[in-house]
Structure 1
Amino acid sequence: MKTVIRVIPPGGNLLQHLAREILDGYPSGRRHLVTVVFPSRRAGLFFREYLKRLNGAGPLDLPRIYAVRDLFLELSARLEPRRLLPPLDQAWILWDICRQRRPFFRLAETFDRFLPWGLRLAEVFEELDRELVEARNLLYPPEDLPAEARTLLEHLGDIKALYEKRLDQEGLSTEARALRLLAERSRELSFPAGPLYLAGFFALTRAEEKLFSYWLSQGAKLYWEDNPAELQPILRRQLKTFRASLEVIEFPEKASPRVTFHEAPDLHHELAALEELIPSQISNPEEVVIILGSLGGLIPLLHSLPEALPVNITLGYPLHRTALGTLLRLLVALQERRHKGRYHVPDYLRLLKHPYIKSLSFAGKKMWSLFHLLEQQLRYRGSLYLALKDIESLFSLQGDVDLSWEDFEPTEAAEAVARFHQWIISPWEAIETTRDLARVVRETIVWTTQRVDLARSPSEPLSRGPEVFWASRPEELLERAFVAGVERELLPLLESAFFAREPLRPKTLFRLLKEVLLHLRAPFEGHPLKGLQVMGLLESRLLCFEKVIVLDANEGDLPSAGEINPLLPEAVRPALGLPPRQREEEIEAYHFRRLIQAAKEAHLFYQSAVSAASFLGKKVRSRFVEQLLWEQEKAAGQMLTAKIRTSPLNLEPAALRRPEFQGKGRAEKEAVEALFNREAVSATMLNTYLTCPVKFYFRYVVGLAPGQEVAQYDATEMGNLIHQALENYFSSFKGRLYQPQKDNNPQELKSIFRKLFENSSLAQRLGAERRFFVLETALFRLQRYLEFLKRKGPFEILDVEKTLDRKIHGYRFTGRLDRLDRCQDQLVVVDYKTGAYLPAITQQAKEQLLVFSPPRSLEAAGWRQLRQCLPDIQLFLYLYLCDDLERDKNAVFIHLAAGREDNLEQPLFRERDFSIGLAHRLMKEAFPRALIYLLEHILEAPAFYATEEAEYCRFCDFRLACLCARV
């Protein structure tokens, strides 16, 4: 009997045609003998709907309806019932095989090292079985492959032989191997007993082709959906493989779909334009479908749709991108960086910010505000690693912590944090097997998604087992889908793994969890035949819609880039006898065109903005869209620019310009007046304004505090320790002549610093190695300074850590001198610097300051002019605050961290450059003029002007809040 394959044009709606054919061809009571097989379960649901509609109100005798995968699994189980291994178990068996053989000793040294390669090797074997290809060793794998990949490919055939032998010995199999077995032994089955319909299949594997070929020879009916006049190359090849003829099912000619192309700058503009295309009510599931080119658009799409509109989502959302997946990865990262029982504080802080963690409660009180206070304390503490007990004790250690507004007593706060550690973090420390891992994941999900109060005993919510997930389902759609994905896929996989009871290293278990999360998809549950349909391209197979909307139809998303298995690059596939990856693109292209051709109208959205990955440049529309547009233009004989709707990027011109200043109104001027009346004016304040008036605004007018970074080493604290050590050392010489040759005592100075350092919180935070190097570096710099003093000769120490105050124009100015000396009848202000080297104020700047005439204007130009001749005010201000006690005065920075000894001392006036008279004139006349102008500028300038130096913005504490930042 000649095999005939029936082809129907996409506009004919194959599912509807098939429903009518079965209802007309088989009387009620006989239809249950008919078997209909589709590529997906979704197609079967729509097929049932069409049967119901065409049958009317009477009883309906349904045929047997299968998704092809379900049918294959059922038939293979009849033929040879075996346990089918998931990829994780396949990887375990492959590791057990490889670790016993010399070529793989390094690769298979541990399971966590082998795991990613084992999963990909299992993928290779699955594809080989689906294509009925025998594995063989590759003598010369491509040189550009990773060494691990080359080793596995060189022994591919040997591994596969051992793998199959192991599976046969233990009565195990895999999905692809079961399919291969079914294709090779299909004649042993009596199935099907009645008529068999195979509908809507496009690209078949060789195993499927062999199975279909046998069924066709036994009278099965195969239906394709394509344009008979331009049959796809894949279908033409299958026509020859099946040695079949083509029968075209005629339909009334369908009008071409109205296709509109939408170009938008980004996803948000796509969604804004989408609003007018979505009807307020949807009466049947074929009315509107939204196809997502990129899964990243799902969450923004759901937030932009009308709340009252029913939505059915049909796609697998990557579990690792969900809030729940992120929570699990944060907990894993916390454990992976745990060191000697102490946790990495930045990882701990990231965990506290997770929305599920912030929603926890203790004794009926929400803990988010308590966690916020805990974060402040951790940043104040500054330790990079802390034990959980240390974190719990923070509230009791900090006596000044105000918890009254938190509604927590200190003891209760410490207990709440302890319970958080006990139920959420500590269980992850004792994981030894995948069953332990599944249990801890389950407990974590129950505590967080079910909002269980931490004051309760964990046995209360967990004693009922897995059904606790469904005792009170979360209201939000996404959360429900995330939890369902973990409950149905992740947990069973871990609990029933081939090696579930095998003790494994924590590193291995955490690597395993991350790999599994990377490949799992969260299922969305809803009403498949109601409301707006949202799906991926391949989920739309065989379905027809009146209006098709495609979002993110950009190159890289459509066709999807997909992950390339490092064991199966394009150059290796033909060597193994596998079809090229190009077939995947042909499959997507076919389903895309079929979906568009079956619609009445189609709207294709693509983005035109620059890609987030800047090296990719501007986004371009998909080649599928490009081809569709070109075909329409070719048919019309002209450019169809009118069919491309653009969503303009409406930006105010001012938004494209960086502001040059922060506005200053009456309130800001009053705030500066209040600041100067409340606090003494310091060199730090003035230097901040000279560097950038906008920074002065954020720090002193607004009162923003710089963000605190958690780090072991605190340069500020180290600087304070060095200052304290030098103060203690020189205090005994106050009022006396210090003779370095006789009085230098490096051992005493180092002993003073050691005691201060050992009693500091900095020493407690540093690890042993870091503490050693930090201490030795500081001691070296202190000793080098004393040796430097020997070159200077004797000097009198007038004061140590002296505070000076002086009123200028009614405002109080202050400065704290590290040391005040008299050296050779010259008064010298000494200021220690422990940080970065400050460039000396140039001779040119001092000469400009000497002749500086305050501008009449208080605009930005005046500030810039002042800054050129006065880039740093500290030493000038300190000398000025010394009043007129001496005519000959100088000030020096002592750069203790200077690389060269010659750079240790940086005087304000060098004798060779500035005479005593010029220096006195500068301090007596020029500097007061500049200081008064600076004070007037701060108080009366019309705005706070921004620096023009991009380097200052890069390291500014307020760059994220500043609209003027040059970053």
Structure 2
Amino acid sequence: MSSFIKSVLLDLQDKGNTIEKLFFILPSKRAGVFLKHHLSKIINKPVFAPHILSIEEFVEEMSGLKTVSNTDTLFQLYNAYVDVTPKENQEPFEAFSSWAQILIQDFNEIDRYLGKQNSIFDYLQAIKEIDHWSLEAEQTDLVKSYLRFWKQLKTYYNVFTEKLLNNKQGYQGLIYREAVENLESYIENNAHKTHVFLGFNALNTCESLIIQGLLQSELAHVYWDIDDAFLQDNIHDAGLFIRQHKAKWNYFKTKSFNWITSNYSEKKNIEIIGVPKLVGQAKYIGQILERIGSENSDLKNTAVVLGEENLLIPVLNSIPKQIDQINVTMGLPLKFVPLASLFDLLFSIHKKPTTKYYFREVIDLISHPSIHSLFETEKSNYLSDISSYIQKNNLVYISTNQLKKIADKSVHNIIDLLYSSWENNPKTALSNCLGLIHLIKRNNSENLNSLDLEYLYRFHSLFNQLTELNDNYHYLNSIESLYRIYNDLLQTETLDFKGEPLEGLQVMGMLESRVLDFETIIISSVNEGILPSGKTNNSFIPFDVKLQNGLPTYKEKDAVYTYHFYRLIQRAKNVYILYNTEIDALKGGEKSRFITQMEVEGIHKINHTVVSPNVPVVEKKLKQISKTEAIVSKLKVLSSKGFSPSSLTNYVRNPIDFYYEKILGIKTFEDVEENIAANTLGSVIHNTLEDFYKPLEGKFLSIEDLKNFKLSIKKTVTHHFKDLYKDGDFTSGKNLIIFEIAQRYISNFINSEIEHLKAGNQIKILAIEADEKIELNIENIPYPIHLTGKVDRIDQFNGVTRVIDYKSGKVEQNKVEIIDWEDVTTDYDKYSKSFQVLCYAYMMNQKKRIELPIEAGIISFKNLNEGFLKFGKKESTRSKNKDQLITEDTLKKFEIELKKLIIEICNPNIDFIEKELD
């Protein structure tokens, strides 16, 4: 394969040019490296390298102006805006910056295409005055402000550009316009230079005039890289611009047009592959490279061209290990660097001045990998102390002072840097961010690798740049405005990779591929909305106005990418085109029109496939844990302490859960309760009722007692919420509703008790929160077995003893009824409530705390209208007859099932087998 650059150099050499004296102008800096490389291959003696510039550098040299960065341009435009706008109509900088970036882009386009600024701005103003939306005869303040903006555009432009020119500065468009103004002068002063323009396609008006001027003065050669297949096809966008140059430039009416090639029609291996999602494409690129690498170890003629920049890291992680030479031309945007997430978290918590921070933001920030190690000590990490304190005390919001009280003084400076209020002051914010970077570097100097240090350096430079802008312009008056500019810089700044540009695999973006040729090309993300980008219109200038004034529209922008895409394929022998098969709500999901166009052309035989990840079918196996000696030993200890009814029902529900909780001692992670949890509500109700009824043990209830209880509900409930919910707030929002619900439940329950007494019933309290432990004699188990539990209430209702279990949730009557005794220890969902109340009744009977027959059941606070839900034994599901008295026979039948369950738990030959839960 003879590359375009090499062909140009050979042609120049054949025509007798002294190459080292030529002045090369290329579309990009990257192409200059390859030009030097090819030059070294065709010369046979040492020479000085010719002068090589990118088109932007060349135009800047012609203009005599210095390029201003995008951010500097924004601030200087605001300077002009403030000068011409009355103070009462001025927008703050953060509001201005939201629309000013679009305005700068429009100024850029107008200047690069030599648009008539005044006529364009006057035309825009006239359009807006005609079609403003107000139906009122008199214009509203909003409409006046809107029209004032369009009227002032011309003034903004004139004042802004005048200031820049006075300072010998310019944005890209202004530099191009000035370069055209200086063209005649440049030609006079550089009559001895021969310029070579190569690889250009879409030229703006300024570039076109400059190149034509130098050609007409016989100071330049121009080499196009276009294939005959695109040039001769009048509707093919790949040849759109070069067809126009060939037809409209006077120079080509008498001079030859270099060059038209016919490489595209040569035989090629083209594969089009549909792959789901970005990561799928990255992994498949890795597979392609592995296949290519096994056939050819030298990959310097292979390029991976990424349609989307955020695919860079996944692709780098997918490159096979055996490929050890990689050159990454495209930079990694700083927004994808891990450190960016740290400063995003910082800005998010400081956007509004506050003295307290949401607990998740606190934990997220100090848990960040860049920060976590700062809290490290020889013995532990203060992060653990802070996290556990927040969880235990249920702190939904936490202040800087509270954090300092938890942690040691040695980390107070870190806490200050992270959490001391920025007070909406950008200067404080920048100082803290820079201080944090220094602290991370100093504390982790031994653990940081070269990449980590580079991250820190780039962010240090970014914040220094922001500090300089803030000191020079004083327009950053809030954290919001600082964050907006920080974000803009983050989008544009890149972390450049260091590599050998001429060796190994090349990884680049589409624009970096200009003028370069490779034998094997892998192009990713060839989807509509990406390649090409489609009808995006980030401009104040309407489509028709752009057409009228020769400004580029989305059609021209699409044609630019069409040319790049086809030019890549032009000389390649192996082409792999990947597209995302999954529909994306924002970017679409269909394959690009480029793919359809190639298929319709019929020039090449195309192998089109759709692939998907090889996802292994993982057979779900239920866990099974054998009872080792250690587990049996643990069961003996557990048996001695006592099985509770809830632990036994937990085993019935799923033996594996019982194993995790009781054998391994794994507790459920207790997160901060942002809203009061159901178990907290239940505990508050239980504890409040215990406070009320405990003093009445052995006594009959009276209406007076119950009325006194009602007077103390709020006070007692508040006390227990503070005890259980710690520093959590229950004075507003959902928590206030739950607090009120707790009071309502208790009040309703007491009211129901009063109604019972008023109806002539007698209620005697026998025990409240009765905590009991009994021993079970089980023949097959050689060690003692105990059953333990706490009964919420035992009372006598008109002489009938009742064992009562409180439930804050909703329980229906059918949940405390059974048909077959065997089911009570096998079906958790239907019979767990029955099992629990029977356990309590059985324990109380064994301890002689009650005399049979009795009743046992549940009072559901969410189903209080149903009253006391009694346990009952039925003959069938349809049977209305049920035995609700618990007798000796009832407890004997329950005892059989209870012992069977405990024997199963303790039997060393029966494994803990996981149940498949719905």
Give TM class, smaller chain: 0.7 to 0.9
Closer/same/farther in 2, CA of residues 36 and 386 from structure 1, 3 Å limit: same
1:744 equivalenced with 2:718 (yes/no): no
Aligned-pair distance for 1:384?
1.4
How far apart, CA to CA, are the structure 2 residues paired with 1:690 and 1:151? 74
| Equivalent position to 2:839, from 858, 874, 877 | 877
Amino acid paired to 2:812: A
1:122 equivalenced with 2:112 (yes/no): no
Instruction: Tell me if the contact between 1:796 and 1:821 (Cα under 8 Å) persists in the aligned partners.
Output: yes
Q: Deviations over 1:878-936 (max 9, x none)?
A: 2332227333433454444x3x7626765545999665566548843554454445445
Amino acid paired to 2:241: I
Aligned-pair distance for 1:96?
4.1
Q: Deviations over 1:514-545 (max 9, x none)?
A: 34324433333333333322111211110112
Aligned-pair distance for 1:945?
3.9
2:594 matched residue in structure 1: 624
Secondary structure of the corresponding residue to residue 666 of structure 2: coil
Instruction: Tell me if the contact between 2:795 and 2:803 (Cα under 8 Å) persists in the aligned partners.
Output: yes
Aligned-pair distance for 1:823?
1.2
1:387 matched residue in structure 2: 399
2:157 matched residue in structure 1: 164
Closer/same/farther in 2, CA of residues 717 and 61 from structure 1, 3 Å limit: same
How far apart, CA to CA, are the structure 2 residues paired with 1:294 and 1:850? 65
Q: Which moved more, 1:498-507 or 1:664-673?
A: 664-673
Amino acid paired to 2:325: P
Secondary structure of the corresponding residue to residue 496 of structure 1: helix
Instruction: Tell me if the contact between 1:97 and 1:163 (Cα under 8 Å) persists in the aligned partners.
Output: no
2:571 matched residue in structure 1: 598
1:415 equivalenced with 2:409 (yes/no): yes
Aligned-pair distance for 1:350?
1.3
How far apart, CA to CA, are the structure 2 residues paired with 1:376 and 1:785? 36
Q: Deviations over 1:302-334 (max 9, x none)?
A: 334437723221113222221021111121123
How far apart, CA to CA, are the structure 1 residues paired with 2:384 and 2:410? 13
1:209 matched residue in structure 2: 208
Aligned-pair distance for 1:93?
4.5
2:698 matched residue in structure 1: 735
Aligned-pair distance for 1:800?
1.6
1:787 equivalenced with 2:787 (yes/no): no
Instruction: Tell me if the contact between 1:124 and 1:568 (Cα under 8 Å) persists in the aligned partners.
Output: yes
1:344 matched residue in structure 2: 358
Q: Deviations over 1:570-593 (max 9, x none)?
A: 799669874332333322222122
1:513 matched residue in structure 2: 486
How far apart, CA to CA, are the structure 1 residues paired with 2:349 and 2:681? 29
Amino acid paired to 1:838: K
Instruction: Tell me if the contact between 2:346 and 2:365 (Cα under 8 Å) persists in the aligned partners.
Output: yes
Instruction: Tell me if the contact between 2:74 and 2:101 (Cα under 8 Å) persists in the aligned partners.
Output: yes
2:6 matched residue in structure 1: 16
2:234 matched residue in structure 1: none
Aligned-pair distance for 1:832?
3.4
How far apart, CA to CA, are the structure 2 residues paired with 1:112 and 1:767? 37
How far apart, CA to CA, are the structure 2 residues paired with 1:118 and 1:889? 82
Instruction: Tell me if the contact between 1:384 and 1:711 (Cα under 8 Å) persists in the aligned partners.
Output: yes
Q: Gapped runs of 5+ residues in structure 1?
A: 1-10, 396-413, 455-460, 462-471, 856-861, 950-967
1:924 matched residue in structure 2: 891
1:496 equivalenced with 2:469 (yes/no): yes
1:221-236 aligned at under 5 Å gives the runs: 221-231=221-231, 232-236=239-243
1:891-906 aligned at under 5 Å gives the runs: 891-896=856-861, 898=862, 902=865, 906=869
Q: Which moved more, 1:541-550 or 1:681-690?
A: 681-690
Q: Deviations over 1:391-411 (max 9, x none)?
A: 23225xxxxxxxxxxxxxxxx
Count of aligned residue pairs for this structure pair: 859
| Equivalent position to 1:850, from 812, 816, 819 | 819
How far apart, CA to CA, are the structure 1 residues paired with 2:715 and 2:51? 89
How far apart, CA to CA, are the structure 2 residues paired with 1:575 and 1:294? 33
1:954 matched residue in structure 2: none
| Equivalent position to 2:176, from 162, 175, 179 | 179
Closer/same/farther in 2, CA of residues 176 and 256 from structure 1, 3 Å limit: same
1:445-464 aligned at under 5 Å gives the runs: 445-448=437-440, 450=441, 452-453=442-443
Identity percentage over the alignment? 19
1:753 matched residue in structure 2: 716
2:136 matched residue in structure 1: none
| Equivalent position to 2:388, from 376, 388, 399 | 376
Aligned-pair distance for 1:563?
7.0
Closer/same/farther in 2, CA of residues 516 and 895 from structure 1, 3 Å limit: farther
Secondary structure of the corresponding residue to residue 312 of structure 1: strand
Closer/same/farther in 2, CA of residues 53 and 480 from structure 1, 3 Å limit: farther
Closer/same/farther in 2, CA of residues 582 and 484 from structure 1, 3 Å limit: farther
| Larger Rg belongs to | 2
Instruction: Tell me if the contact between 2:625 and 2:913 (Cα under 8 Å) persists in the aligned partners.
Output: yes
Q: Deviations over 1:654-680 (max 9, x none)?
A: x1x544x32233449748845743642
How far apart, CA to CA, are the structure 2 residues paired with 1:918 and 1:625? 80
1:161-560 aligned at under 5 Å gives the runs: 161-168=154-161, 170-171=163-164, 173-183=170-180, 186-190=183-187, 192-193=190-191, 194-219=193-218, 220-231=220-231, 232-243=239-250, 244-245=252-253, 247-249=257-259, 255-262=266-273, 266=280, 267-278=282-293, 286-305=300-319, 306=321, 309-336=324-351, 339=354, 341-360=355-374, 365=377, 369-394=381-406, 414-422=408-416, 424-426=417-419, 429=422, 432-433=425-426, 437-448=429-440, 450=441, 452-453=442-443, 475-477=449-451, 479=452, 482-483=455-456, 485-486=458-459, 491-496=464-469, 500-502=473-475, 504-554=477-527, 557-559=530-532
Q: Which moved more, 1:784-793 or 1:695-704?
A: 695-704
Aligned-pair distance for 1:723?
2.8
How far apart, CA to CA, are the structure 1 residues paired with 2:541 and 2:915? 55
Aligned-pair distance for 1:503?
5.7
Q: Deviations over 1:534-559 (max 9, x none)?
A: 11121111011232233454555544
Closer/same/farther in 2, CA of residues 572 and 599 from structure 1, 3 Å limit: same
User: What is the RMSD computed on CA atoms of the aligned residues?
Assistant: 4.3
How far apart, CA to CA, are the structure 2 residues paired with 1:436 and 1:293? 40
Aligned-pair distance for 1:42?
0.2
Closer/same/farther in 2, CA of residues 234 and 91 from structure 1, 3 Å limit: same
1:684-763 aligned at under 5 Å gives the runs: 684-715=646-677, 716-741=679-704, 743-746=706-709, 749-750=712-713, 752-753=715-716, 756-757=719-720, 760=723, 762=725
2:60 matched residue in structure 1: 73
Q: Deviations over 1:938-958 (max 9, x none)?
A: 566666344443xxxxxxxxx
Aligned-pair distance for 1:734?
1.5
Q: Deviations over 1:20-60 (max 9, x none)?
A: 344555666x844x32211111011111222223223x332
Aligned-pair distance for 1:749?
2.5
TM-score (norm 2): 0.81
Amino acid paired to 2:5: L
How far apart, CA to CA, are the structure 2 residues paired with 1:17 and 1:308? 30
1:797 matched residue in structure 2: 765
Q: Gapped runs of 5+ residues in structure 2?
A: 134-139, 232-238, 779-783
1:663 matched residue in structure 2: 624
Q: Deviations over 1:155-211 (max 9, x none)?
A: 664242131133145346432233234345543544644222221111223343344
How far apart, CA to CA, are the structure 1 residues paired with 2:430 and 2:838? 67
Aligned-pair distance for 1:745?
0.8
TM-score (norm 1): 0.78
Q: Which moved more, 1:216-225 or 1:495-504?
A: 495-504
Instruction: Tell me if the contact between 2:394 and 2:727 (Cα under 8 Å) persists in the aligned partners.
Output: no
How far apart, CA to CA, are the structure 1 residues paired with 2:671 and 2:551? 53
Amino acid paired to 2:368: H
Instruction: Tell me if the contact between 1:289 and 1:547 (Cα under 8 Å) persists in the aligned partners.
Output: yes
1:677 matched residue in structure 2: 639
Instruction: Tell me if the contact between 1:360 and 1:368 (Cα under 8 Å) persists in the aligned partners.
Output: no
Instruction: Tell me if the contact between 2:329 and 2:507 (Cα under 8 Å) persists in the aligned partners.
Output: yes
Aligned-pair distance for 1:796?
1.0
Q: Deviations over 1:140-159 (max 9, x none)?
A: 7799xxx9999998666424
How far apart, CA to CA, are the structure 1 residues paired with 2:518 and 2:459? 32
1:5 matched residue in structure 2: none
